[in-house]
Structure 1
């Protein structure tokens, strides 16, 4: 009897190259670490089998082929021997270079931007996330004058860069791309209006927002799950989280009980060096929780050999998003469980002496009690510094808004008058705006 035919598609055999320009290199990272990150990026894309990797050292990039003639032939031989289907170049590749390299090596090729876009396309789940990725991908494709546009007939969940029915056709239809981008922008506008309504509803919730940010794979989702009891996707994989997730939790009180401060905890997309500019713009709206946060937890993989470089990349992206340098921030040195006992003890001593630093293991839970105490202290200080005073008079019948004010913890004292209740308040501008949003009033009912 004949063997049954498998319907599963065979994996795409990918070869990863990190071009290192030596003295001309401007990146903060060592080339070997950059290559390791590129391989991790490739592993984050389903259907990819890594069959080889290398650092390709160059004196100067060749404008036509990126690599010089000798290096081009040398790599070509390795690709042929490895039977590679796809080459992933960890860096920018111009449309001309891409066309020439694909012709010389007879393989498909993705640069760093194309690869990250593919991953984002595979991972985006919300309607807004999907639209933002598609818009970013079209913006990228529009510059690739030699690439085929196969978006409308792609065969899998990605963007069609790796495979698709029209991939071998070297043509670009700018008018079709422009029309599709216009349609996507209109759809995105409608989705953004809906999200704005959701944000307005969130503004009515009288709790501070704490946002987790950090380099991709720093352990943000593991920490989020540990603190909230949620089950957000948390894997040892780059960009495991793309769409923001928010949960309301109550911090333990000083005695370890559950009557402490209530907060909104927000998990966000991981940052990465050389994030495509198209995606920085596209995901700005997705990161609005960071811009609105009362406190930011910058989660760092303290066990990573280039943790300082990763932290610098995160700070750079936060700055580009418009996050104020004065915003309250705690550095969470995560993954101390991956360190030696001596190093871990030294870090715990350092965080005890250093303001705004907490060493933890989201995996084992070590240090999380101290982190919760630090979060509460930072919020108390930040909210106290941001508070102003007001007097609001409410009719006796307005139990809903009175309850909101007490739930927010902003009522200093309350007294009855002939016309209603006079409440003396100490609150932040965000709390005041949330109270005003309860009924659309602008004066809080004074």
Structure 2
């Protein structure tokens, strides 16, 4: 049994790495910029190109863009803004590390530099924006009257109450000069082309990094409703509430809406996504002779509830037992409503919850479950997520930790660490949301 579980664990980790590798940002950028249909690089050949890259994959994307563009004489010095653990020197660029998931002062300074570069771009020149997940938090550029501290407080409030990424981004857009099409507004009258690595499930370009280069259909009233629907409006900073209410009354400029003339000079290209990584995991599992299915390509909801539902769905399919090795693959981004004071992220919480659900409902086979972030980070930890099996809970209890109590206290990190059940791969330089892998194997004597 122990040997079989060890094999399943290594296979599960290998499949996850295949999913991360498929989101390699350098390959995706080079493929796009070398495409003969990319009209921005086959006209105005003497025009200057201003490159700005922001997000967890920014360094890799910028390096690839520099290599793909034919001549250095067109390139202005570029700017890269990424998370501290993804900072890598790139020739021709100023690289700035900034805070994520909560913005910080470095991010504000970086946002000011990005805005200045866009404002300095002239007609017939090109601003090439390389955008990846995490870009929203990395470029905080609050509207007048909102301090960075107030914006951080609003973000923390929404993260803690279980707001999903679209809800958080709706608020961010209405408190920012860059998000919700703001970057396109700053870059005009220059041309703007955005190459986008998606970390959202439906690849909605208005949601990735809070849509700095695309139209936004949400309103100030929608932003207010996010707080009210989560019952935290009264806890929001006064300046935030005041600004949003004034905006809803028509006293502040709305985000850029569909049909704005500015977007005639703007192009967006999706170059990588979570669904591509899910497909790569699927292929890797099939190649190892697992009977492979896609469980869900848009996995959302409260992490612990999603874990238990998956377990129940899986058990319900095993009416006649399991006869051959199987794999179920998912991709998405769950949420966690924080009620305790422990440590962990949504992937670690989902892994621990799955282990508890498997014990509670007696999953009748050997199994290994992994939930991890493609960026190599899960919440406020240095781990990518968790990987659990039928032995995990016993190891946690042997370490003197009650796993049920740990889950209730949002302390999945402590529990999984005690069982050597954390997924540690380091910063990956990419980000296309999360991957989940469930491997099933018949019991062996």
TM norm. shorter chain > 0.5: no
- With structure 2 as the length reference, what TM-score do the two structures score? 0.30
- With structure 1 as the length reference, what TM-score do the two structures score? 0.30
Considering Cα pairs closer than 8 Å and 6+ residues apart, tell me whether 1 or 2 has the greater RCO: 2
- Which has the larger Rg? 1
